[in-house]
Amino acid sequence: MSNWFFIALVAPFLWAIVNIADQYLISKYSEKEKEKSSGGLVLFSSFIGIFVAFFIWLIFGNIFNISSSDKILLFINGGLTIVWVIFYLYALEIEDVSSIAPWFLVSPIFGYIFGYIFLGETLNTLQLIGSLIVLFGAVIISINFEKEKKRFKKKMVIYMTFVCVILAISGVIFKYVTIDGNFWVSSFWEYFGLGIFGLLIYLFVPKYRKEFHFMNKMGGKKIFIVNIISEIMTMSGNLMTNFALLLAPVTMVFLVSSFQPAIVIILTLLGAKFFPHLIKENASSRILFPKIIAIIIMTLGSIFFFL
């Protein structure tokens, strides 16, 4: 098998580790007796965004070489990142990461819709079929099979639908601005916006400021370190994907990226077995089998996106 496959596979592997690290931070540092108590974690990522923006400026320069309107759009994109991360963290509070990660395969559906509306991109029959298949898998993974009386995970669905919609909007904005521009310049303004919006939230939203101080007291240094490593892994995954795109067709590279949910569930099962004090995962067949079926369905559906 060509080297491009292994290069492309690094990205979903790194992103899967980031998902699991997020779950670890939620389980260890959120106020478990309170729902929606993990939003303060986003401030750690936001403040790191300022440093990431600084290093991009230091290394690549020419960050002002875009129009004012593009700067504003990318700055707003940084704020949108905060919004989707908050909903993602709320979802992680109430569900396992192996149930949350597959939902990111739903995001391209909204991406196609917004791309069709705002960028003039077209939707073919296979993409529509793939969207329906992915949504069918999302319905399965949103059902609680733990008890005899099955229950629909309504809150998780609401949170992750918001996440996928905002991710799609963010992706369309980034593509619109960057399509003829510089990736790193666009990334600077997005990270800069992330940092500034995080600072505004810290100053004017007491709830998140209180949560931030609570988490900082509990393990601020460790949270910052995990977030820094996660950010490095996320950016490394993005770079690996971009490099793989130079070696193989776009379709094949993005197909490999769709393996991320499967990698998440494999890593969580291994982690729960060998590091149970760090990672929790219900491995009963009643829970695990429907989850695996749903992930397979959603992965197969995502294949249609790139045919």
The pLDDT tens digits for 202-254 are 999 999 998 888 888 887 788 888 888 988 898 888 778 767 766 776 667 76
Q: Binning pLDDT at 50, 70 and 90, where does residue 307 land?
A: low
Q: What is the pLDDT of residue 111?
A: 81
> For residue range 30-52, what is the model confidence (pLDDT) as tens digits?
776 677 778 788 898 888 889 88
- 151 - beta bridge partners? 144
Burial class (CB in 10 A: 0-12, 13-18, 19+), 232: middle
Per-residue pLDDT tens over the stretch 137-194: 999 998 887 766 677 888 999 999 999 999 888 888 887 887 666 778 888 999 999 9
Question: Is residue 266 left, alpha or beta, with left meaning phi > 0 and alpha meaning psi from -120 to 50?
Answer: alpha
Phi and psi dihedrals of 151, rounded to 5?
A: -130, 140
Q: Where are the domains of the chain?
A: 38-224+284-305
Residue 83: pLDDT band by 50, 70, 90 thresholds?
Answer: very high
The arithmetic mean of pLDDT across residues 108-132, rounded, is 80
Q: What percent of the chain has pLDDT over 90?
A: 26
CA distances in angstroms from 152 to 88, 124, 191, 241, 305, listed in the order given: 18, 31, 36, 35, 27
Confidence check: pLDDT of 22 > 80: yes
Report field, pTM of the whole predicted structure over 0.85: yes
pLDDT band at 113 (very low <50, low <70, confident <90, very high): confident
Check residue 1 and give its pLDDT.
Answer: 47
What's the confidence (pLDDT) of residue 242?
Answer: 67
Helices and strands, counts by H and E, the chain: 12, 2
Average pLDDT over residues 75-93: 92
Task: Report the candidate in 17, 22, 27 with the shortest Cα–Cα distance to residue 268.
Answer: 17
Note the pLDDT of residue 159: 94
Distances, alpha carbon 239 to alpha carbons 12, 19, 61, 131, 234, in Å:
12, 18, 19, 27, 9
Cβ–Cβ < 8 Å for 256, 5: yes
